[in-house]
Amino acid sequence: MEFVASSRVLSSNQPSWFSPITTYRTPRQLSISPHLPSNASFHNSATFSHRDYPICKATVKDSNTSLEQVKTMAGEHSPVFELSSLTALSPLDGRYWGKVKDLAPYMSEYGLIYFRVLVEVKWLLKLSQIPEVSEVPSFSEEAQSYLQGLIDGFSMSDALEVKNIERVTNHDVKAVEYFLKQKCQSHPEIAKVLEFFHFACTSEDINNLAHALMLKEGVNTVIFPVMDELIKAICNMAKDNAYISMLSRTHGQPASPSTLGKEMAIFAVRLSRERREISQIEIMGKFAGAVGNYNAHLVAYPDTNWPRIAEEFVKSLGLSFNPYVTQIESHDYMAKLFHAIIQFNNILIDFDRDLWGYISLGFFKQITKAGEIGSSTMPHKVNPIDFENSEGNLGKANASLSHLSMKLPISRWQRDLTDSTVLRNMGEGLGHSLLAYKSALQGISKLQVNEACLSEDLDRSWEVLAEPIQTVMRRYGVPEPYEKLKALTRGRAVTKESIREFIEGLEIPQEAKTNLSRLTPHTYVGAAVELARDVDMAINLVNGAKVLETDR
């Protein structure tokens, strides 16, 4: 699947929903992606220290550990723990870092600073294009290139410089403004207009656009490709197993047979439908000043059409424009986006639990790697840990995303600050979602269908043919067909022989008897084979376009 590419973000006037295109691009290929030096790392930066913070002191009783040892371990006589994979409070930044780090360029503090820099620079460039703002004349190509270089060449050291400025300003957006002024004060042309950085802006003008771009780029570049890979894997499961008959279970009891492939196709179509819903959500932005009225803009330049300029600017970033706002963009689109991801995740929880159950029934075997341990005490066990990990992380993701979607649209009067700290947690919900998708994919890759078990399960369940028999009896006017089959099957062992004997005793045409006698639990699958085989077509119809190319 292809999405609205980052290279369009800074030049396209198209709305900002996640719309399909055709090829994936890596973060390094995205023109608006954060640019890192080759040796940069988002993890365990040595510049952040906790030495100035107090430590917890412990009292140990009934232990061979001395108090002096405890003090040393706690850090009183040794450096306090630096951030590392072993000391991170969140497992996303520790144990699972390798699986979620692709989100870091977009959803981290670094990503937020980068996109703030981008918005500030682009706004100065926009001001230079407004005839009424004569104090900012059109920049030369060299000056424009210099400003664009601040975006394209933004590095980890630049982000750390912004953080150092913030220690003095105690204001994160103002630190970005000061950083840019420092970077440009040596450039003779740009130095003349330094005070037009952040012109007429409230911090939220910068922040809301930065957050929108973080979400757009993070979802387009990292989340969507893994979602599509997951849907593709389930599609392949559906087609590979289209002809494998399987006993269904409703309320946990034997029910009319299906095929393994058709049951997988259901999940592929459901997930694809939600994937499309997410892709159609418009990502909104505002740029209207302190309370949304362009107050300062109109005092400084009363004859300028600032609402039109703001709309042009927001759309130039590849976002949709929200003209009716307070100090903040109302975050309604975020709530819609997070709810849609929650629904995708809920469907995947359903998939994880079903696969867990099928493994428990023996329908699937799990391919193991040499040296892997299934259980610490029971050598025979191979636990379905990938689907369990996926389910657990989906629950964690949904809890975080649910809080974001419920909280963010609510703000006291023209704004309060509760959204600011909450927005810093967007990466948590997306990170646990990403981890869950990858766990499910890993689980799928280990599965091996156990056809013998599926067949044995069907052979033990001839009673499921009661449904087609009583339905044919209804067609030919046999009285009380349901009750007759109920007496035959409920609470009694039903065999191939007893079913055939019952059919022969029916007063229905011989052709109907012959057709019923040919039925077995293996063949009574209705249109399941066709539904599984045509899953690609179903997904294409759901999405309105050909979006997935599967291997088969």
Active site residues: 251, 375
d(CA 444, CA 426): 28
Q: Which residues contact 187 (CB under 8 A, 6 or more apart)?
A: 143, 146
b/e burial code for range 245-280 (CB count within 10 A of at least 16 → b)? bbbbeeeeebebbbbbbbbbbbbbbbbbbbbbbbbe
Across the strands, what pairs with 91? none
User: Please, what is the end-to-end C-alpha distance for the chain in angstroms?
Assistant: 16
- What does the CA dihedral 317, 323, 329, 330 come to, rounded to 10 degrees? -140
**Encoding tokens for residue 460?**
């033990």
Residue 338: name the closest of 400, 419, 414 by CA.
400
CB of 83 closer than 8 Å to CB of 108: no
d(CA 68, CA 64): 11
Task: Say if strands 20-21 and 2-3 run parallel, antiparallel, or are unpaired.
Answer: antiparallel
User: CA quadruple 491, 493, 496, 499: dihedral positive or negative?
Assistant: negative
d(CA 390, CA 222): 17
Task: Say if strands 245-250 and 253-259 run parallel, antiparallel, or are unpaired.
Answer: antiparallel
Phi, psi of 127 (to 5 degrees): -60, -35
Residue 512, SS3 per DSSP: helix
Residue 485: name the closest of 508, 509, 502 by CA.
502
In the block, which residue shows the tokens 């709309």? 311
- What is the CA 224 to chain-centroid distance, rounded? 7
Task: Say if strands 284-285 and 320-321 run parallel, antiparallel, or are unpaired.
Answer: parallel
The DSSP code sequence of 414-425 is T--THHHHHHTT
In the block, which residue shows the tokens 């599967």? 550
d(CA 416, CA 3): 34
d(CA 118, CA 515): 71
Length of the chain in terms of residues written: 552
d(CA 18, CA 283): 8
d(CA 103, CA 434): 9
Across the strands, what pairs with 368? none
